[in-house]
Structure 1
Amino acid sequence: MQQPATQSQDQSLDEFWMPFTANRQFKSRPRMLESAEGMFYTDVEGRQIIDGTSGLWCCNAGHGRKEIAEAVSKQIVKMDFAPTFQMGHPLPFQLAERLVEIAPKGLDRVFFTNSGSESVDTALKIALAYQRARGEGTRTRLIGRELGYHGVGFGGISVGGMVNNRKAFGVQLPGVDHLPHTLDLERNAFTRGLPKHGAELADHLEKLVTLHGAENIAAVIVEPMSGSAGVILPPVGYLKRLREITAKHGILLIFDEVITGYGRVGAPFASQRWEVTPDIMTTAKGLTNGAIPMGAVFVSEQIQQAFMHGPKGLIEFFHGYTYSGHPVAAAAALATLDIYARDGLLTRAQELEIYWQEGLHSLKGMHHVIDIRNTGLVGAVHLASREGEPGARGYEVFEACYWDGLMVRCTGDIIAMSPPLIVEKSHIDRMINILGDVIRRTP
């Protein structure tokens, strides 16, 4: 194992309050990245680290893409910023048209944001305002799912089901309920692809309809695949059952595809791979390959048209962001879509899915490994927790992988991987070998 990098003595680490990080732990042994190209990061000591996580689920086309850098550079010189409040510029209109071309059929209107969190809060606002616009203003209740992650806005943490993301803040949206999660180690451990058991969990929505009344429920929001909670996959038939129930009761179905969007599971969007079209879809991350912050919310024309009433001079939807449709972000996104199209990256995960699956499942039988889950180019190795130390083993594996040259994610004792879609079989072999070696020597 290589020795960890040492932090330069003249670099203070005190001022930056790092997000979603154990700051004191990190700063006692920092992991500092300096550059990136293709499948690899290079740290401040020159160590190469293969990217097993696409940055943070976002660099789907790999790192250092010159086409994106050139598009950003050209645009920032031409026009660095333009407002989209009562003004316009061509790029977001071009981008929206391009996005609709790859979106699920029927989702043909796009509202731009700056992140996944903003996309979720936007989607929730659209859902609530839509129900009111069509004369069903009693529909104010929102339903999320246990272990769901929907960003860090107050809307997102309210419908989300990861308790640590909200318990410190005390306040959340009223009128929110949750479906049960679909993680079932007893019946589905070591499933290859989507698990066979658990579609009936969608029927819990009928119980919530009985409890609250359909006339009071605006929307249900779920991730097609829960990423941040540790790659929790939808059982076969589960998403279709949710679609059937929501449609029956006039409840909007929102898919949070911030992680699954732009090729992660083998189609442009998970809704296409699993043949279920929601009413609203949130995206971000892979939209610009992580180069510039940007998100996009897709809705149907029918939903948008519900707002288009009253005087033409009336603002139909009192919502937006200073940087909605930012010209530099839009330029980055257009260049990213060009790469995805030219290199066939939006479907490449299906081509490599079986090889990726076999590599991950080769770790079955190792000490502490209690489950392995995979779909497309995403996977998780679930480790047994130490008694009285939940998350400790997962963190040790995560950290040791880094020093051995592999970046992974850990959620408690779950190790998650989602490599860039440019990954080759040799890269997969390297990632599995490093992870396997680390797990073997981790007590």
Structure 2
Amino acid sequence: MLVSASGVHYRDSAGRSILDGASGLWCVNAGHSHPLIVEAVTEQLRTLDYAPCFEFGHPGAFEFAADLVGVMPRAFDRVIFANSGSEAVDTALKLSLAYHRARGEGGRTRLIGRERGYHGVGFGGTSVGGIGRNRAAFGTLLPGVDHLRHTYDPSAAFTRGQPEAGAELARDLQRLIDLHGAETIAAVIVEPVAGSTGVLVPPVGYLQLLREITERHGILLVFDEVITGYGRLGGMTASEVFGVTPDLIVLAKGLTNGTVPMGAVVVSAHVDEALSTGVAPGVELFHGYTCSGHPLAAAAGLATLRVFEEEGLCERAAALAHLLEEAVHELAREPFVRDVRNIGLAAAVELEPGAGAPGVRGFEVLKRCFEQGVLVRVTGDTIALAPALVYTEAHVEELVGAVRTAVRGIH
């Protein structure tokens, strides 16, 4: 049990200090209990605890939306708030359908996800998600959904950063277009780096080719940046880092440094124009949540942006990425390690599964790391590392050292 947190450490119920090697759950990028964020949320709670977002508003939501657009790629000019990444994904999917209907192409209803992709636990996000165990209990989910091939290639094991080969995997979208018809497809949604499945890094040129194909056929491209946004790759977005501009960007997690639940869809100008053109006075878009743009979340979001700017967190992440890469790839020589992947401040160590016991070794490493006072994330037999952007070199060494010791102790 975790009972308190400060900086890059938790404290457990036994009073032990625990190094956070997962940024909470990919979200506490600026470190726990940052004083500026704590102060902003506390003061907001004293001033305005809640305001309705239907017919009314409050200054914080508009201020945060404006500042958020200011750190996004130039093509984006509108923000729609939600309360989590799952809600934000479902919002982006609804916006994609509404966009095509507004343009007189209501037949575009098909949504394309990707194998091994994760897009939250909402109905739409689970449907476009491509991790079998996340879908198995819920039947067919949304009809008319299909999936691209994933990008993992075992022959590229132990690649540092982006694999050089594999861009052509994006052409699998053309196969789905030929099968279903471009006129039926509303949107393609992908994580620029597939995080939850174990840090699958896109091949060089893959995202660029995916963008070319979607643009050619009038299909919206949605980047789910719930994990990759807010400095994880050394820039505010993966879109910026990879030089690929989608039509919609989904954000959450680091948006408020994990302090108050919040999600957002950042909307490009041409999508916003289509949605707002010809709309009768009154409600522009019949979509929203009771706590959309909540005052506490907006205060946390504004403070988080301030921390990123004042402390240069994206630059710090970029500088630290090389240290993480060097350290984590030293694990390649350890027993049972069959792959190491990394990009920015995200890394994965994939283990050979035990005979007839998939996931057992991964969970054993998680337990052994925690016994050493280090928290890591595990997906099956893959250990995921996501250090906070405020880590030091000593923290990186402690994190990777704990994984090394844990791996050496399993059978």
TM-score in same-fold range (> 0.5): yes
Moved more, 164-173 or 227-236: 164-173
Runs of 4 or more, structure 1, over 4 Å off, are none
Q: Counterpart in 2 of 1:71? A: 40
CA contact (8 A) 1:147 1:162 kept: yes
Match of 1:190 in 2: 158
Tell me if 1:239 matches 2:207: yes
Output the CA distance in 1 between the equivalents of 2:53 and 2:96.
Answer: 22
Query: For residue 11 of structure 2, what is the aligned residue in structure 1?
Result: 42
- The partner residue of 1:436 within 369, 385, 404 is 404
Residue 323 of structure 2 is matched in structure 1 by: 355
SS in 2 for 1:386: coil
Q: Deviations over 1:256-312 (max 9, x none)?
A: 000000000110000100000100000000010000001110011221121224464
- Residue 66 of structure 1 and its aligned partner are, at CA, apart by 1.4
> Match of 1:218?
186
2: CA distance between counterparts of 1:409 and 1:436?
A: 15
**8 Å Cα contact 1:308/1:316 also seen in 2:** yes
Question: What is the aligned partner in structure 2 of residue 252 from structure 1?
Answer: 220
Partner of 2:117: 148
Give, in whole Å, the separation in 1 of the partners of 2:225 and 2:135: 21
Q: Is the 8 A contact 1:268 1:347 kept in 2?
A: no
1:81-105 per-position Cα deviation (integer Å, ceiling 9, x unaligned): 0011111111111001111111011
1:110 aligns with 2:57: no
What are the equivalent positions in structure 2 for 1:262-277 lying under 5 Å apart? 262-277=230-245
User: d(CA) in 1 for partners of 2:102 and 2:282?
Assistant: 14
Partner of 1:57: 26
Cα distance in 1, alignment partners of residues 353 and 252 from structure 2: 32
Q: Against the structure 1 CA distance between its residues 226 and 311, is the aligned structure 2 distance closer, same or farther, given a 3 Å change threshold?
A: closer
Q: Secondary structure at the match of 1:430?
A: helix
1:94 has 2:73 as partner: no
Mapped partners of 2:198, 2:279: distance in 1: 48
Opposite residue 212 of structure 1, the aligned amino acid is: H
Q: Who is 1:342 aligned against?
A: 310
**Alignment map for 1:173-184 (pairs within 5 Å):** 173-184=142-153
Aligned to 1:11: none
In the other structure, the counterpart of 1:209 is: 177
Count of residues paired in the alignment? 411
- Residues 1:163 and 2:124 are matched in the alignment: no
- Equivalent residue, structure 2, for 1:424: 392
CA distance in 2, matches of 1:302, 1:236: 27
* CA–CA distance in structure 2, aligned partners of residues 424 and 108 of structure 1: 35
**What are the superposed Cα offsets for residues 210-267 of structure 1, whole Å, 9 maximum, x if unpaired?**
0000010000000000000011110000000000000000000000000000000110
2:261 aligned with 1:293:
yes
- Distance in 2, matches of 1:108 and 1:424, equals 35
Give 5+ residue unaligned stretches, structure 1.
1-31
What code does the residue aligned with 1:256 have?
D
- Structure 2 counterpart of 1:369, from 300, 315, 337: 337
TM, length-normalised to structure 1: 0.92
Gaps of 5+ in 2: none
- For residue 137 of structure 1, the aligned residue among 106, 111, 124 is 106
- CA drift of 1:347 comes to 3.0
Separation in structure 2 between the aligned mates of residue 275 and residue 311 of structure 1, nearest angstrom: 33
The separation in 1 between residues aligned to 2:178 and 2:402, in whole angstroms, is 50
| 1:284 maps to 2:252 | yes
Distance, in Å, in 2 between the alignment partners of 1:129 and 1:39 is 42
> Which residue in the other structure is 1:383 paired with?
351
Question: How many angstroms does 1:441 deviate by?
Answer: 1.1
Which amino acid is 1:107 matched to? Answer: F
Alpha-carbon contact 1:145-1:221 (below 8 Å) kept: yes
C-alpha distance in structure 2 between counterparts of 1:293 and 1:190, whole Å: 35
Give the structure 2 partner of residue 8 of structure 1.
none
Equivalents in 2 of 1:400, 1:261: separation in Å? 30
Secondary structure, counterpart of 1:128 in structure 2 = helix
* Aligned equivalents of 1:226, 1:300: Cα separation in 2: 23
User: What do the CA deviations read for 1:327-375 (whole angstroms, capped 9, x no partner)?
Assistant: 1110011011110100001232211111110000011111100000000
CA distance in 1, matches of 2:400, 2:139: 41
CA distance in 2, matches of 1:204, 1:245: 10
Matched position secondary structure for 1:433 = helix
Between the aligned partners of 2:314 and 2:396, the Cα distance in structure 1 is 18
Deviations 1:95-134 (A, max 9, x none): 0111111101101110000000001000000000100001
Task: Give the distance between the partners of 1:127 and 1:257, measured in 2 at CA.
Answer: 17
Whether the aligned pair in 2 keeps the contact of 1:158 and 1:166 (CA below 8 Å) is yes
Letter in 2 for 1:373: R
